[in-house]
């Protein structure tokens, strides 16, 4: 690709770039093309003056030149006259005269394309076709199978295509590419495309920052703070679920213990509650083994008496029965919460009876 001559766009000098890319060298300058344009203007003025200097056609012709302007644009007549110096001729590609020839585009050597005052060259170098548009950062490889489709697409977009007839001057790129074929991994970009994309990204970033700044007073601390708040809420909910699972586990264990033996639990609770009471009333005294034996004997007799009362049918009418104390139907099914409440009521009742027994003693 380095051997291919390719002029990149400067100002509006696309006609100059088109000719030099076609001829593969710096053959024409803006000054030379302007000279050709002025010569054409003079020839046209002389022909128009033949009809009279006061004719409307002549006065219209005296308007600014149609062959060039201050921006650097040059007409097709300027390009055609410039190529005549090299013995080259331009033929309109889609003209009836050329279409009757039935020539396959792949058998031509080069094309000049124009659309809205922009000119560029498509030329064959060696055995491969290249798009030498000056608006590209470099030559673009065109396959033989894609050439006809490429030209048809240009025509559909409104381009005028001219076939360059004649022998082009020899060039280094043509000689080199006769021996080797090139491969292009990445299509060249348009000039300024990277700069335009970078500018668009900067504009989008600035717009986004401005949008965030405007929405900040209404949305609170921002999107990140809102996400942090949602995370903390989810964490708190997970901790509550863990605590509920622990409470359910403790509830099951308490129910299981209460079901295994109410007497042992009641006795243990009674002892636990009586121990601080005894220590508070008489801290200097210590219980003898005989006193402990009597108290245990009294406690078991009391428990046996309560058990006999529970088996008596008339006992269910008394408000102090175990079933009424539990607040449940003796014949119904108990839930885990009812069973836990029952265990707690039994323990409190046992402790209360045990305390009354102690006071009587």
CA distances from 318 to 126, 150, 282, 311, 324 (A): 118, 107, 37, 13, 8
Cα–Cα nearest to 40, from 2, 71, 82, 5: 82
Q: Which of 20, 21, 131, 133 is catalytic?
A: 133
Which is catalytic among the residues 67, 113, 114, 118? 118
Of 14, 17, 20, 21, which residue is the catalytic one?
Answer: 14
Which residue has 């013995």 as its token pair? Answer: 87
Distance CA 48, CA 51 (A): 6
What are the start-end ranges of the E strands in the chain?
89-92, 110-115, 118-125, 128-131, 140-142, 160-165
Q: How far apart are CA 75 and CA 90, in angstroms?
A: 13
Do β-strands 160-165 and 110-115 pair in parallel, antiparallel, or remain unpaired? Answer: antiparallel
The tokens for 73 are: 């644009």
Q: Are strands 110-115 and 89-92 parallel, antiparallel or unpaired?
A: unpaired
| Active-site residue flag, 133 | yes
**Quick check: is 18 catalytic?**
no
Concerning whether 14 is annotated as a catalytic residue, the answer is: yes
Sheet holding 118-125, edge to edge: 89-92, 160-165, 110-115, 118-125, 128-131, 140-142
Active site residues: 14, 118, 133
């Amino acid at each position: 690709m380095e051997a291919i001559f390719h002029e990149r766009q400067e100002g509006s000098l696309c006609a100059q770039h088109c000719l030099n890319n076609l001829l593969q060298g710096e053959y024409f300058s803006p000054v030379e093309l302007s000279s050709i344009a002025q010569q054409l203007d003079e020839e046209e003025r002389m022909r128009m003056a033949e009809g009279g200097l006061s004719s409307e056609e002549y006065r219209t012709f005296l308007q600014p030149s149609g062959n060039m302007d201050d921006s650097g644009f040059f007409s097709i007549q300027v390009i055609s006259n410039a190529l005549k110096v090299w013995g080259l001729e331009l033929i309109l590609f889609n003209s009836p005269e050329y279409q009757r020839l039935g020539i396959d585009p792949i058998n031509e050597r080069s094309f000049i394309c124009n659309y809205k005052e922009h000119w560029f060259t498509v030329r064959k170098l060696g055995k491969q076709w290249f798009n030498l548009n000056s608006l590209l950062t470099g030559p673009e490889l065109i396959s033989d199978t894609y050439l006809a489709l490429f030209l048809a697409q240009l025509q559909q977009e409104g381009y005028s295509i001219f076939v360059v007839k004649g022998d082009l001057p020899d060039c280094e790129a043509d000689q080199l590419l006769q021996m080797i074929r090139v491969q292009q991994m990445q299509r060249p970009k348009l000039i300024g495309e990277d700069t335009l994309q970078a500018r668009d990204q900067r504009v989008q970033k600035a717009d986004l920052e401005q949008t965030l700044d405007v929405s900040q007073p209404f949305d609170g601390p921002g999107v990140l703070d809102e996400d942090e708040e949602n995370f903390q809420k989810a964490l708190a909910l997970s901790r509550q679920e863990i605590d509920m699972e622990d409470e359910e586990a403790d509830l099951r264990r308490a129910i299981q213990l209460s079901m295994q033996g109410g007497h042992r639990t009641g006795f243990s609770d009674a002892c636990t509650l009586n121990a601080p009471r005894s220590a508070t009333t008489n801290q200097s005294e210590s219980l003898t083994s005989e006193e402990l034996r009597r108290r245990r004997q009294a406690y078991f007799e009391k428990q046996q008496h309560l058990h006999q009362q529970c088996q008596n049918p008339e006992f269910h009418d008394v408000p102090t029965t175990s079933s009424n104390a539990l607040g449940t139907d003796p014949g119904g099914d108990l839930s885990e919460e009812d069973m836990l409440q029952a265990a707690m009521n039994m323990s409190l009742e046992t402790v209360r009876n045990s305390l009354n027994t102690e006071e009587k003693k």
